[in-house]
Structure 1
Amino acid sequence: MPVRQRRNPGSQTALRLSNQQRILSNLVSSGPTTQADIARNTGLSAATVSNIVKVLVDRSLVSTSPTTSSGRRAQLVSLSSTNGAVSVGIDFGRRHVRIIVATLDYRVIAEKEIEIPLGYTAAEALDIAANLLTSTLSHAGVQHSAVLGVGVGVPGPIDRRTSTVVKGAILPEWVGVTVGMMEESFQVPVHLENDANLGVLAEATWGPHAGTPTVVFVKVGTGIGAGLILNGTPYSGNIGLTGEIGHTPIYEHGLLCRCGNRGCLETVASTTIMIELLSRTRARPVRTRDIVRLVLEGDERAIRVVEEAGFAVGRSIAAIANLVNPHTIIIGGPLTDLGEMLLRPIRSGFARYAVPMIVETTQLVMSSLGERAEALGGASLVLQESGIHPTVG
């Protein structure tokens, strides 16, 4: 399930990391290969390949041995060990950074989440994440040099032409941040993606619906976005701006949305609006985890808020289903612990606005990955960009 990301090198560091990724990906897909063949396969010069191979040998990611090719002496390059290299997924949220470290055979060997203050700058978040990466790798006994790359998820649209966070992000501090800036912080190749797109990739890789050809993943959180897999391939649209269903108007005279329109889905169904509504009659502000707690405790106001939000989400999902006719629709985000309490009103809205035959033949389920989905998707993205695909779901 390839996910292609156009990269804008931007700096010598980014270019060097990109070239290292190309060589590692070639070794993953082709097996032990001579340096001359690597140069032909990647389009890099022989001198560039030779220099990068030396770096990778120093990082213990590859090993070299003498061989012959067409009757001439050559250097055979091999991956040192499939157990040594790892991929990393990092998910940035409004209040958190979550990191997952996975091996090349898709085993999670380390996972950590920390809370960060509201209103953080992108530079602060990258520093926090870089330190978290270092400490997590150290705790897992993995050297930084063994990291193939980092898949980063942010809650906002990514312009794939430049790999840049663009206007419309839930966290405006991220607008203008590029892959190159992240690679300077992490010192490894970075693959930047919208969080919902990583969510659907995680579901197709790690979840019980792996292998399902047409899937829609809808993340209901501070913002609301959708990730799509169509005919077994992640779909990102013309320039990468797919799944922005949170900015689909559903009430013509509704509240003004941050995107400039009125009555968008986010103004009636995001956790932001739920928190605002539930905080009005309480001594202290409600947080997302409080929404879950209050609903499970039977709080009537919280249940009403979630039911109305769920029905609106179901209405928007119906529009997607009527267009692409998916096999499975998966609901993710921080409210997944609500289970049927959230799914029931979503199903109701879906059934009200979708074509009856589509309602009858579409699975609508809650994510089993919970809030881990986006970080898992980031780790998957690195592996699949390197040509390493799971053998089982």
Structure 2
Amino acid sequence: MSQRAANRARVVSVLRERGAQSRRELAVTGLSRSTVRSVVDELIEAGTVRERPAPKDNRSAGRPATLLTLSGDLGLAAGVEIANGVIRAAICDTSQELLLHDSEPMDDRTTPEAALERVSALLDGMLHRLGASRGDVIGVGVAVPGPIQRNTGLNGRATTLKPWVNVNAATLSAKLLRLPLTVGNDANFAALAELTWGAARGLRDVAYVYTASGIGVGFILNGALYAGANGTAGELGHTTIDENGEVCACGGRGCLNTLANADSITQKLRRSHRDRLTIAEVITMAQEGDVGCRRVIADAGRHIGLAAANMYNLLDPELIVLGGNLAPAGEILLGPLRESMARRAIHAGEVLPPFIVGELDEHTVVVLGAAAAVLRDAEAFPLPHV
């Protein structure tokens, strides 16, 4: 590869990973200003890069900066989430713009084969609505709940969708979707979404706590996704909180999942509230002042705070983000969570990192992250015309 081509590749790589950037921000490539200017001009002339005005900022005077993005017509990236009770999909273009997202309910007992056939049909329908075809898709990111063992590619026993335990999701997805793909854990992909579009933009060390049927963490360490030696990093829901507590689906006792996930919260209200409430209903009632609902959410927050303190003591992230089905509870959950965490975390003379609700919607964060994984992977998903 010539030096000129290598310089173009460096600029394209930054735009793939970080999205829209100003020419000044492209200094992270290590290239001089004059080289960046020359390379960008070449990429614009080739149709690989486009200019667009930056969003207007009322706090800044003068003309807004011009941002550079990859052209949106270099291909499409799809993201898929196979979750408890639902399958979701999103399609983005290569400028990182979300074009379309959709979802369908799905029974938790659905076989992996049947689930992926439905995903394939859902993607085909979405592509048709966009006037596109499978030939336009540079890759698909497929998110599944629970850990994926790095050596075997099998879904671990902590997977909350039991038909998927000991299934090689990558092999099966490749066979049934018939598209280039990457497969990963839902919390990891959600962390990528917040890094790309949300609260973690521009940061290097972030923990994203994703609450669904289980509670997992996606780690961004030194700017890169960290899954661990065996692919099981971030299973916060299986942190032991009470050694004498209820038996968890993983076989342990008193795991965080038995005390603070959506099912445990709603089950605690069955006697006092009679009807089986959904977690969304519990949160709404708590916001309207129901003391029982507020109490169980606060209790969940304290338990998560204990686990988060241990996580912080080990990894020291600069930001912790909450996403998923408990995020809409906001300060009802986060207040007790922060208090519990502060009592147990090692401050070392420093202020604890912010623990905030993510910026992205709980229904799209995972599929956006799955699409982001495609857009970031230059080796697996080369862009045409670059």
Where does structure 2 lack aligned partners over 5 or more consecutive residues?
A: 1-5, 12-70
Alignment correspondent of 2:247: 256
Alignment correspondent of 1:125: 115
Could you report, residue by residue, the CA deviation over 1:288-324 in whole angstroms, capped at 9, with x for unpaired residues?
Answer: 2222222122211111110000110011001111111
Could you report, residue by residue, the CA deviation over 1:217-240 in whole angstroms, capped at 9, with x for unpaired residues?
Answer: 011221011111111111111121
1:376 aligns with 2:368: yes
Could you report, residue by residue, the CA deviation over 1:221-264 in whole angstroms, capped at 9, with x for unpaired residues?
Answer: 21011111111111111121100111111111111111111111
Contact kept in structure 2, 1:310 and 1:343, CA below 8 Å: yes
Deviation (angstroms), 1:356? 3.0
Alignment correspondent of 1:365: 356
Alignment correspondent of 1:213: 204
SS in 2 for 1:341: helix
Deviation (angstroms), 1:82? 5.0
Change over 3 Å in CA distance of 1:359–1:119 after alignment to 2: farther
CA distance in 2, matches of 1:132, 1:271: 27
Deviation (angstroms), 1:358? 7.2
Alignment correspondent of 2:78: 88
CA distance in 1, matches of 2:149, 2:290: 41
Deviation (angstroms), 1:109? 0.6
SS in 2 for 1:159: coil
CA distance in 2, matches of 1:296, 1:308: 15
Identify which range, 159-168 or 319-328, moves more after superposition: 159-168
Alignment correspondent of 1:193: 184
Alignment correspondent of 2:321: 330
1:385 maps to a residue whose letter is D
SS in 2 for 1:165: coil
Alignment correspondent of 1:63: none
CA distance in 2, matches of 1:280, 1:113: 33
CA distance in 2, matches of 1:329, 1:267: 22
Alignment correspondent of 1:159: 149
Task: Give runs of aligned pairs for residues 30-109 of structure 1, distance below 5 A.
Answer: 83-109=73-99
1:278 maps to a residue whose letter is L
Contact kept in structure 2, 1:154 and 1:193, CA below 8 Å: yes
CA distance in 2, matches of 1:133, 1:142: 11
Task: Give runs of aligned pairs for residues 274-353 of structure 1, distance below 5 A.
Answer: 274-353=265-344
Alignment correspondent of 1:150: 140
Change over 3 Å in CA distance of 1:359–1:251 after alignment to 2: farther
Contact kept in structure 2, 1:325 and 1:358, CA below 8 Å: no
In the alignment, which of 204, 220, 237 is matched to residue 228 of structure 2?
237
Contact kept in structure 2, 1:122 and 1:177, CA below 8 Å: no
Identify which range, 275-284 or 125-134, moves more after superposition: 275-284
1:174 aligns with 2:164: yes
Contact kept in structure 2, 1:163 and 1:179, CA below 8 Å: yes
Contact kept in structure 1, 2:108 and 2:161, CA below 8 Å: no
SS in 2 for 1:274: helix
Deviation (angstroms), 1:95? 1.0
CA distance in 1, matches of 2:223, 2:136: 30
SS in 1 for 2:202: coil
Where does structure 1 lack aligned partners over 5 or more consecutive residues?
A: 1-25, 32-80
Change over 3 Å in CA distance of 1:30–1:337 after alignment to 2: closer
State the TM-score, normalizing by the size of structure 1.
0.76
Alignment correspondent of 1:141: 131
Deviation (angstroms), 1:326? 0.8
SS in 1 for 2:355: strand
SS in 1 for 2:96: coil
Deviation (angstroms), 1:91? 1.1
Deviation (angstroms), 1:87? 0.4
Deviation (angstroms), 1:30? 8.7
The alignment of Structure 1 onto Structure 2 pairs a total of residues equal to 316
CA distance in 1, matches of 2:212, 2:244: 23
Contact kept in structure 2, 1:214 and 1:228, CA below 8 Å: yes
State the TM-score, normalizing by the size of structure 2.
0.77
Contact kept in structure 1, 2:342 and 2:352, CA below 8 Å: no
SS in 1 for 2:320: strand
Alignment correspondent of 1:385: 377
Deviation (angstroms), 1:343? 1.2
Contact kept in structure 2, 1:322 and 1:358, CA below 8 Å: no
Could you report, residue by residue, the CA deviation over 1:91-112 in whole angstroms, capped at 9, with x for unpaired residues?
Answer: 1211111111011111111111
Contact kept in structure 1, 2:113 and 2:172, CA below 8 Å: no
Identify which range, 157-166 or 314-323, moves more after superposition: 157-166
Contact kept in structure 2, 1:268 and 1:312, CA below 8 Å: yes
Deviation (angstroms), 1:357? 4.2
Root-mean-square deviation (CA), in Å? Answer: 2.4
